[in-house]
Structure 1
């Protein structure tokens, strides 16, 4: 019924040139579900309610009915499929983009209002936009990193080359990606199979990745075991920040909004650049490293010493509690409290700058400190650094097997389908990876690499500050516990842009 309603509106020419967002919403509307397709782990800020989101967006003029749903919701999906495709017949695909895909594309407001059983979003690579004839100076998105593609950016990301990449990510054959999320895998499978049937030979499947939130008590935790997504910022016009949570200008995530200083084509407004990275995690090897190098401190068992080392590498305990606030032992109550687990700056109370010699509370190299340094760069809440991203990734692959645990060797691939949104890839993801995580001199000389995601083209990585009993002690990591399997850069357009520009 939804597809027919929109198709009739278009075919009778009632919206001959411009399909309004209001009309799209009416055509796509569903009865509201009683439950969300999302899961909100304890420790992460709750998504705004329908009325809260409506009021907030009205205050700043942000149209949440026009913003694709995945961009602002963060790491809350239970099941997700990434369907990477190439366009074989552009005119046919454009027609079906309007009649078959567009009615299913889910807005932020629809996700919040529980008006979908399967969220579907779509984004296009630079070569995909070219295939759709979105070219020329008037259509230039003015993001050089996006334009050249991720394979050409491998060096800046610390990848030695593309040898370890999934072969399908090498080259320029991927024109787009569809993201489908739901609370059941069956719902995703049904939606995708039906859509593939309708799209026919207009596209070809290049690569697909099934992902799912980990089961039971590990929901919301990535494969190393740590609660993920706590430090995501909140975006102006979407919801108010909790204590310590960064509040970023809308235009730092959404193109064409306040805070985006780059000249963009008018149709690009309220879109966002999507970075996809498939990150393989060597979990048995990581656990073996922790077991072999426990922090030797009075009052700690070897197991506790290993847990402390892992927490200091990440900057948080597995519960999500920051080591800066709980330096010796995990504090699950702190970890699951979103009003407290971000409320710190790495500086002493009342100070705007952290002590450049003190790593006792948290190493300068810790993952969460490298990627959000807070008072280390003189910005207590880091709200004006313009290097924020909204992460919306999800684990893939099975749980570690008993054989892998016994051999301390990864035999089955698992990891994180990393997704990040921003209005400028050079200021967002690329900056965080290249200038912070991979920079052994940031924030101070001799800090070393981010021990989790820092990459040095497969060479060894020196890391400083992990041992609180001797913060000058150096560790040399010879194993990349996170291995890049490649990815691509995409642009996730607004729903009205799909209707009025990309499909015409």
Structure 2
């Protein structure tokens, strides 16, 4: 069988951050760099390749990862031939800012309001360092600093600290990171025994995907194979506005918690509404063997979990299988949510002016039918659930004309005038190459 069709994952060539589970809790740093000198850019890639290779092949067990990715303009700055650049996905070549209107990044979330230089041609290289504690993170960050030290043709243009709490909760108070798909050949079993592992080609390029075909791959093969596309987005969360919205529409504290759970599809502990429809079950929420072990078909009308809830929109599971028109597995993706900024103290209803939110990271082989499809068809629209005027109540581009329906007997409940709770501060489409590809990039002689 030709190498391009071999189904076994070449794990030693795949960057650790692409498939590895993150430690919990953890701290991290994101760095964005601009390349002004091609030779220095290639030297940076050579040094980063050495670090990544050492990390991948060593016996380290400290869960520290250093992941490197490049924008289209970054690959261009490194001197990748135009024929190779043209072989990347069109969405990657255009960049996220150019596709803002498609993604619903309008108004306050439009690129004109993004943090500089996010979404611009100055974003070339992204480095993510994640570690279980500050000391080990600093060691990883120092490696990254040494990699670009004394290279005048490089400039750090943006940085962001991030973290995950021991509770795993984001600024909205909900436990995050539940329900990741398992990837065939990765050695990690699915947390949902009802959901088989995804074909490797859904996440890593160079392998058959769920259709049985090879996804389009950048050429030459050494550049594309074992790489993955990465979506990077900084999302500011309006936590005080969210809390006030619930407080104003709830009859008491218990009702407030229930409304929040109905909007998200889970209780704050992570317990899914399908398994705990009436009250939170923290023990269930904290149990990785049970908190993702469910489907939606038996709750077709959404009396337990509304069909428009955030978690159900993002992954409808089996609820769209009935007529065979949608294969949800073609839209699954690895999603990482990382908090930044200080948490708003519990119970506080006034905005303190601090910037807080989520660094959203997606990894997959198909930008358009994975991230962009889910964002535009499931989160930003309600046609697929029979409610074309409704958007995702938590992360959708709501404009206070939006609503959210909660099925219940005898009369459904309708929340009106949903404001936007999440604002896009910037982002970029990136490509995380395999280790062999990084060596190829460092040795370019164009």
Relative to the length of structure 1, the TM-score reads: 0.78
Helix, strand or coil: the match of 1:393?
strand
Deviation of residue 108 (structure 1)? Answer: 8.5
Superimposed CA distance per residue, residues 172-204 of structure 1 (whole angstroms, 9 cap, x where no aligned partner): 110010111122334433543454353531310
- Output one character per residue of 1:108-138: Cα deviation in whole Å (capped at 9) or x when no partner: 8559x53567421110000001111113224
The verdict on how the C-alpha distance between 1:277 and 1:401 changes in structure 2, with shifts beyond 3 A counting, is same
Distance 2:410 2:163 in 1: 39
Tell me whether 1:304 sits opposite 2:254 in the alignment: yes
Name the CA distance, whole Å, in 1 between partners of 2:234 and 2:112: 14
Q: Which residues of 2 match residues 268-279 of structure 1 at below 5 A?
A: 268-279=224-235
Change (3 A) 1:465 1:106: farther
Q: How far did residue 445 of structure 1 move? A: 3.1
Aligned mate of 2:339, from 390, 395, 398: 395
Unaligned runs of 5+ in 2: 1-5
Task: Describe the SS at the equivalent of 2:101.
Answer: coil
- The answer for the alignment partner of 1:105 in structure 2 is 52
Deviation at 1:410, TM superposition (A): 4.3
Aligned-pair distance for 1:97? 2.1
SS of residue in 1 equivalent to 2:441: helix
| Alignment match, 1:147 | 93
2:216 to 258, 262, 280: 262
Counterpart of 1:192 in structure 2 is: 141
* Aligned equivalent of 2:3: none
1:234 and 1:241 in contact (8 A); partners too: yes
Partners in 2 of 1:479 and 1:415 — Cα distance?
Answer: 16
Q: Secondary structure at the match of 2:344?
A: coil
* Aligned position for 2:319: 376
Partner of 2:307: 364
Following the alignment from structure 1 to structure 2, what is the Cα–Cα distance between the partners of residues 502 and 476? 54
What does 1:334-373 correspond to in 2, within 5 Å? 334-348=284-298, 355=300, 358-373=301-316
Is the Cα–Cα contact under 8 Å of residues 106 and 121 in structure 1 kept in the other structure?
no
Assess, with a 3 A threshold, how the Cα gap between structure 1 residues 467 and 303 changes in structure 2: closer, same or farther: farther
* Partners of 2:394 and 2:22 in 1: CA distance: 19
* Partner SS state of residue 154, structure 1: helix
- Do the aligned residues in 1 keep the contact of 2:302 with 2:407 (CA within 8 Å)? no
Structure 2 CA distance for partners of 1:170 and 1:275, relative to 1, 3 Å: closer
Q: When the two structures are superposed, what TM-score results if normalisation uses the length of structure 2?
A: 0.88
1:284 CA drift (Å): 1.8
Name the structure 2 match of 1:429.
371
Distance 1:325 1:187 in 2: 38
Which one of the candidate residues 251, 255, 262 is aligned to 2:201?
A: 251
Give the CA deviation at 1:448. 1.2
1:67 aligned onto 2:67: no
Instruction: Give the counterpart of 2:236 among 276, 280, 295.
Output: 280
Task: Say if 1:343 and 1:463 are closer, same or farther in 2 by CA, change over 3 A.
Answer: farther
In structure 2, do the counterparts of structure 1 residues 343 and 399 end up closer, same or farther at CA, with 3 Å as the change threshold? same
Paired with 1:396 and 1:186, the residues of 2 have a C-alpha distance of 18
Indicate conservation of the 8 Å contact 1:96/1:199, yes or no. Answer: no
Contact 2:198 2:329 in 1 (8 A): no
- Pick the aligned partner of 1:233 from 175, 181, 197: 181
- Determine helix, strand or coil for the equivalent of 2:303: coil
Name 1:500's counterpart in structure 2.
440
Is the 1:86–1:173 contact (alpha carbons within 8 Å) kept by the matching residues of 2?
yes
Render the CA deviation track for 1:143-193: whole Å, top value 9, x for unaligned: 111111111111122111223311211421100101111223344335434
Q: Deviations over 1:283-336 (max 9, x none)?
A: 122112122212x5xxxxx11111010011110011111111211101122212
Q: Which residue of 2 aligns with 1:385?
A: 329
Q: CA deviation at 1:71?
A: 1.1
Cα 1:400–1:110, aligned 2, differ >3 Å: closer, same or farther? Answer: farther
| Distance in 1 between residues matched to 2:178 and 2:323, nearest whole Å | 17
Cα distance change on mapping 1:233 and 1:108 into 2, 3 Å: farther
Counterpart CA distance in 2 for 1:165 and 1:470 is 45
Shift of residue 454, structure 1, vs aligned partner:
1.1
1: CA distance, partners of 2:330 / 2:51: 33
Q: How many angstroms apart in 1 are the aligned matches of 2:57 and 2:199?
A: 23
- 8 Å Cα contact 1:390-1:422 kept in structure 2: yes
Deviation track 1:68-97 (CA, whole Å, cap 9, x = no partner) reads 111112453601110000001111221242
Question: Who is 2:356 aligned against?
Answer: 414
- Of residues 201, 206, 210, the one that matches 2:157 is 206
Tell me if structure 2 keeps the 8 A contact 1:168–1:206: yes
Conserved in 2, the CA contact under 8 Å of 1:320 and 1:336?
yes
Q: d(CA) in 2 for partners of 1:497 and 1:210?
A: 28
Residue 164 of structure 2 contacts residue 339 of structure 2 at CA under 8 Å; is this kept in 1? Answer: yes
3-state SS, counterpart of residue 278 of structure 1: strand
Q: Kindly state the Cα deviation for residue 225 of structure 1 after the two structures are TM-superposed.
A: 1.3
Q: Distance in 1 between matches of 2:360 and 2:305?
A: 25
The Cα offsets for residues 34-71 of structure 1, whole Å up to 9 and x where unpaired, read as: xxxxxxxxxxxxxxxxxxxxxxxxx9421111111111
Aligned length: 424
Moved more, 118-127 or 378-387: 378-387
Displacement after TM superposition at 1:501 (Å)? 3.4
